[in-house]
Amino acid sequence: MATESIKYLTPETETKLKSKAFPRPHQNTSGIVNWLTTIDHKKIGVMYGLAALFFLILGGVEALLIRSQLWNHNMEVLSNREYNQMFTMHGTTMVFLVIMPLSAAFFNFIMPLQIGARDVAFPRMNTLSLWCFIAGGITLNLSWFFTGGSPAIGWFGYAPLTDTRFAEVIGDMGPDFWIFSLQILGLASLLASFNFITTIINMRAPGMTMMRLPVFTWMTLIVSFLIILAFPAITIALVELMFDRTYGTNFYDFLEGGKPHLWQHLFWIFGHPEVYILILPAMGIVSEIIPVFSRKPLFGYGLIVFSGAIIGFMGFAVWSHHMFTTGMGIVATSAFSILTMLIAIPTGIKIFNWIGTMWGGRIRFETPMLFALGFITMFMVGGFTGIMHSSVPIDAQHQDSYFVVAHFHYVLIGGALFGLFAGFYFWLPKLTGKMLNEKLGKFVFTLMFIGFNVTFFPMHYLGMIGQPRRTHSYNEGHGFETWNQIATIGAFILGVGILIGVYQFVTAFFNKKLKDAGKNPWDARTLEWTLSSPVKEYNFARTPIIKSRDQAWENNYGPKENHSDKVPLDDHGVHMPDRSWYPLVSGLGFLGLVLGLLFHQSVDANTGEILRDYTYAIAGGSIAIFGIIMWSLEGPAGYHLFPKETEE
Amino acid sequence: MSEASAHALEHHEPETSTGIPNKKVLMWAFLGSDCMFFGTLISTHLIYRKISATVGGNTLDVRDIFDIELTSFSTFILLASSLFMALAVSAIHKGNLSSTRWMLFGTIIFGAIFLACQVYEFTHFVHVPGNELTLSSYRGEPHVFGSTFYVLTGTHGTHVAIGVFWLIGWFVYSFTGKMSTADALDIECCGLYWHFVDIVWILIFPVVYLMEYAF
Q: Residue A416 pLDDT more than 90?
A: yes
What pLDDT band is residue A20 in, cutting at 50, 70 and 90? low
Write down the domain spans for chain B.
Answer: 30-54+61-213
Say how far apart CA A109 and CA A192 lie, in whole Å: 13
Q: Tell me the mean pLDDT in the region A386-395.
A: 94
State the pLDDT at residue B127.
87
Q: Do A121 and B29 touch (CB under 8 A)?
A: no
Q: Do A248 and B135 touch (CB under 8 A)?
A: yes
* Mean predicted lDDT score pLDDT of chain B: 91
Q: pLDDT tens digits, residue range A199-215?
A: 999 999 999 999 999 99
Q: Residue B3 pLDDT more than 50?
A: no
What pLDDT band is residue B6 in, cutting at 50, 70 and 90? very low
- Run of H or E including A289: helix A260-294
CA closest to B173 among chain A residues: A633
Say how far apart CA A576 and CA A28 lie, in whole Å: 13
Say how far apart CA A434 and CA A437 lie, in whole Å: 9
Q: Do B151 and A240 touch (CB under 8 A)?
A: yes
Say how far apart CA A311 and CA A415 lie, in whole Å: 16
Say how far apart CA A241 and CA A176 lie, in whole Å: 9
What pLDDT band is residue A18 in, cutting at 50, 70 and 90? low
Q: Do B25 and A198 touch (CB under 8 A)?
A: yes
Q: pLDDT tens digits, residue range A127-160?
A: 999 999 999 999 999 999 999 999 999 999 999 9
For residue B25, the chain A residues in CB contact (below 8 A) are 121, 197-198, 201-202
What are the phi and psi torsion angles at B187 (to 5°)?
-70, -35
Say how far apart CA A107 and CA A157 lie, in whole Å: 29
CA closest to A639 among chain B residues: B12
More confident position, A31 or B112: B112
Task: Tell me the CA distances in angstroms from A580 to A33, A196, A364, A575, one per residue in order.
Answer: 10, 20, 44, 16
Say how far apart CA A484 and CA A499 lie, in whole Å: 22
Q: Which of A194, A201, A232 sits opposite B18 (nearest CB)?
A: A201
E strands, A512-637, in order: 574-576, 601-603, 610-612
CATH numeric code, A37-567: 1.20.210.10
- Closest by Cα among A360, A354, A358, A396 to A379: A354
- Closest by Cα among B211, B201, B213 to B41: B201
State the pLDDT at residue B122.
93
Say how far apart CA A484 and CA A473 lie, in whole Å: 11
Q: Are B186 and B173 in contact (CB under 8 A)?
A: no
Question: Which residues does B26 contact at the CB level (< 8 Å), separation at least 6?
Answer: A121, A122, A194, A195, A197, A198, B189
Q: Are A16 and B173 in contact (CB under 8 A)?
A: no
- Give A203's DSSP letter: -
Q: Do A208 and B17 touch (CB under 8 A)?
A: yes
**How near does any CA of chain A get to the CA of B185, in Å?**
14
User: Which residues on chain B place their C-beta less than 8 Å from a C-beta of chain A?
Assistant: 8-9, 11-12, 14, 16-18, 20, 22, 25-26, 29-30, 32-34, 36-37, 39-41, 44, 47-48, 51-52, 135-137, 142-144, 146-148, 150-151, 155, 169, 178
ipTM of the complex: 0.93
What pLDDT band is residue A16 in, cutting at 50, 70 and 90? low
Handedness of CA B63, B65, B67, B71 (dihedral sign): negative
Q: Coil, helix or strand for A466? A: coil
**How near does any CA of chain B get to the CA of A121, in Å?**
7
Say how far apart CA A592 and CA A178 lie, in whole Å: 16
Q: pLDDT tens digits, residue range A255-300?
A: 888 999 999 999 999 999 999 999 999 999 999 999 999 999 999 9
Q: Do A232 and B36 touch (CB under 8 A)?
A: yes
Q: Do A629 and B155 touch (CB under 8 A)?
A: no
Q: pLDDT tens digits, residue range B67-124?
A: 999 999 999 999 999 999 999 999 999 999 999 999 999 999 999 999 999 999 999 9
**How near does any CA of chain A get to the CA of B156, in Å?**
13
Say how far apart CA A45 and CA A267 lie, in whole Å: 29
Q: Do B26 and A248 touch (CB under 8 A)?
A: no
Q: Do B143 and A257 touch (CB under 8 A)?
A: yes
- Closest by Cα among A242, A240, A261, A238 to A251: A240
Task: Tell me the CA distances in angstroms from A603 to A150, A596, A600, A613, one per residue in order.
Answer: 21, 16, 10, 11
pTM: 0.94
State the pLDDT at residue A239.
97
CATH numeric code, B30-54+61-213: 1.20.120.80
State the pLDDT at residue A221.
97
For residue A233, the chain B residues in CB contact (below 8 A) are 36, 40
**Among A12-26, A49-63, B163-177, the least confident range:** A12-26
Q: How far is CA A196 from the centre of its chain?
A: 14
* Mean predicted lDDT score pLDDT of chain A: 93
Say how far apart CA A266 and CA A251 lie, in whole Å: 12
What pLDDT band is residue A341 in, cutting at 50, 70 and 90? very high
Q: Do A251 and B148 touch (CB under 8 A)?
A: yes
Say how far apart CA A138 and CA B83 lie, in whole Å: 45
- Run of H or E including B137: strand B137-138
Number of CB pairs, chain A paired with chain B, less than 8 A apart: 120
Q: Residue B12 pLDDT more than 60?
A: no
What's the farthest any 2 CA atoms get from each other in chain B?
75
What pLDDT band is residue A647 in, cutting at 50, 70 and 90? confident
State the pLDDT at residue B130.
82
State the pLDDT at residue A267.
97
- Closest by Cα among A289, A283, A285, A275 to A351: A283
Q: Residue A12 pLDDT more than 70?
A: no
Q: Which of A202, A229, A262 sits opposite B17 (nearest CB)?
A: A202
What pLDDT band is residue B14 in, cutting at 50, 70 and 90? low
State the pLDDT at residue B5.
39
What pLDDT band is residue A622 in, cutting at 50, 70 and 90? very high
Q: Tell me the mean pLDDT in the region A4-13.
A: 50
Say how far apart CA A524 and CA A516 lie, in whole Å: 16
Say how far apart CA B57 and CA A256 lie, in whole Å: 14
**How near does any CA of chain A get to the CA of B130, in Å?**
20
- Rounded to 10 deg, the angle between the A615-634 and A582-598 helix axes is 160
For residue A269, the chain B residues in CB contact (below 8 A) are 40
Q: Residue A15 pLDDT more than 90?
A: no
Q: Do B26 and A121 touch (CB under 8 A)?
A: yes
Q: pLDDT tens digits, residue range B23-71?
A: 999 999 999 999 999 999 999 999 999 998 888 888 888 898 899 999 9
State the pLDDT at residue A124.
94
Say how far apart CA B100 and CA B85 lie, in whole Å: 9
State the pLDDT at residue A10.
52
Q: Do A266 and B40 touch (CB under 8 A)?
A: yes
State the pLDDT at residue B4.
39
Look up residue B170 and give its amino acid. Answer: W
Q: How far is CA A430 from the centre of its chain?
A: 20
Write down the domain spans for chain A.
Answer: 1-24+581-648, 37-567
Look up residue A82 and give its amino acid. Answer: E
Q: Tell me the mean pLDDT in the region A317-326.
A: 94
State the pLDDT at residue A633.
87
State the pLDDT at residue A19.
57
Look up residue A121 and give its amino acid. Answer: A
Q: pLDDT tens digits, residue range A598-615?
A: 999 888 888 878 889 999
Q: Do B33 and A194 touch (CB under 8 A)?
A: yes
Q: Tell me the mean pLDDT in the region B126-138.
A: 88
Q: Residue A71 pLDDT more than 90?
A: yes
For residue B30, the chain A residues in CB contact (below 8 A) are 194, 228
CA closest to A237 among chain B residues: B40
Q: Residue A451 pLDDT more than 70?
A: yes
